[in-house]
Structure 1
Amino acid sequence: EHKRTNMNEAIVEKLHGTLSILRRERDEVHRAKELAMERLRLAKEETERMERTLQASKQKYDALMAQSTNNSNSNSNNNCSNGSDGHGGKVNESVEIMQLKKEVERIGREAKFQHMEYVSKRDTLAKLKNHLKAEDAQRSKNIRIAQETLKKRRAKLANIQALARNHISTDGTSGGSASRGRANDNGNDSGISGGAGKGKNRTSASASAS
């Protein structure tokens, strides 16, 4: 009984350890999920910022192009009237437009790359969520099974311990009764022996008197 009790206690302790491991793994999975979601949020914010910057640069570029066209038309009309050209102002505008165009192209490339990175992280997170959902369901199932097994083992261990206590108590009671029985038997035997001795003495005395 003692050996069986120790074995059940070891099993209960092992189940406790299994539950602790499963819970720790579940917490780590949730932390990984939260970290991935935070990275996705930052990537989305960066993508939106780049898109806003690109849009602002495009608007500025379009405004300069429109202004350049108007200035070109105005300069052409003035040149025709005055007989001179305004190449100096046009050159400056062209340089500014070219610089802005390059800036728009650069920001456009960065925005495209950032958007691709965001889409990649979004897809990765979606796959991670599905994977974690399946793992979490299996882990919850394992925890539930371990808890049920632990509950049964605890009940079984409690029953074994109760039986062991009852067994010890019963053995003690039986031992006391047996001792008292043996004492009574010894007393009876002594009484019988004493009676027999007295009978013999009376018989001897009668014979002498005769």
Structure 2
Amino acid sequence: MVANKGFIAGSCLILAPVLQAISTFFWQADRQGISTGTLIVLSTPCWIVGLAYIFHDIEKRVPRYAAIAFPLAVYGCVGGASFGLQGMYEELFGVSHDHTVDLIGQHPAAAFITLWMGGPLFPMSLIALGAVLTRIKYVPLPTGALIVAGGIIFPLSRIPREATIAHMADLILLLPFTHLAVQTLRNTPARTTTPAAVRTEHS
């Protein structure tokens, strides 16, 4: 079971930034569109599963941080999925991104909860995670620094919708999370011995 969890988590830590990076190649001139939105939604459970494993792994070393930061990180992932769904609806109904922002602005409470608060929590969570992982020496300094840098650049590309900066941000995030994925897979035992097997060996 432990091996399965590690393999799934490691795979998700690679798939999440890969799917996210691919999604930006489908940006349209005035909106994200259906393809981008779909890829963002697909990346969301991968982010949650991968981050859940990392937070669980560091929980004993930074229990207070893990207890507070993980729910916020999940909220941030859901906020990202909300933007993905928004992009899908923009193309589906033939409207621009600016127009949908104006429309959602007519419902400030809903917009704040689903988009304006949820969305920024994702890059903010990455910035904090990169700093903490570096501080407790869970990852080398370059890996932690790239996570922090990716978290900083991420909104700078999404808010003005600059594709070139978005590709850069995606690459910056892909590198450290690939390192985390490899680290997770290497630290995962090939198999686990069940209690029944132990009893058989010692009988």
**TM bracket (short chain):** under 0.3
Of the two, which has the highest radius of gyration?
Answer: 1
TM-score (norm 2): 0.27
- Structure with bigger RCO (C-alpha 8 Å, 6+ apart): 1
